Amino acid sequence: MTDVVLIDWGGGNIGSVRYALDRLGARSVLSSDADTIANAPRVILPGVGAAAPAMQRLHELDLVDTIRALEVPLLGICLGMQLLYESSEEGEVEGLGVLKGRIERIAPRPGLRVPHMGWNRLRRERSSALLDGIEDGEWAYFVHGFVAPLSEDTLASSDYGSGFTAVAGRGQRFGAQFHPERSAATGQRLLANFLAMEAA
Query: One-letter amino acid identity for 39?
Result: N
Q: Let me know if 59 is a catalytic residue.
A: no
Question: How many angstroms separate the CA atoms of 194 and 71, rounded?
Answer: 14
List the catalytic residue out of 60, 78, 89, 125.
78
46 preceded by a cis bond (ω within 30 of 0): no
Residue 154 has pLDDT above 90, yes or no: yes
Query: One-letter amino acid identity for 38?
Result: A
Q: Let me know if 181 is a catalytic residue.
A: yes
- Residues composing the chain: 200
Domains of the chain, first to last: 4-195 (3.40.50.880)
What tens digit of pLDDT does each residue of 10-27 get? 876 788 999 999 999 999
Residues 6 or more apart from 19 whose CB is under 8 A from it? Answer: 181
What pTM value is reported for the model?
0.96
Per DSSP, 163 falls in state E
Q: For the chain, first and last CA: distance in Å?
A: 19
Q: Let me know if 78 is a catalytic residue.
A: yes
Q: Give the Å distances, CA to CA, from 73 to 60, 118, 173.
A: 24, 28, 6
What tens digit of pLDDT does each residue of 86-124 get? 999 988 999 999 999 999 999 888 888 889 999 999 999
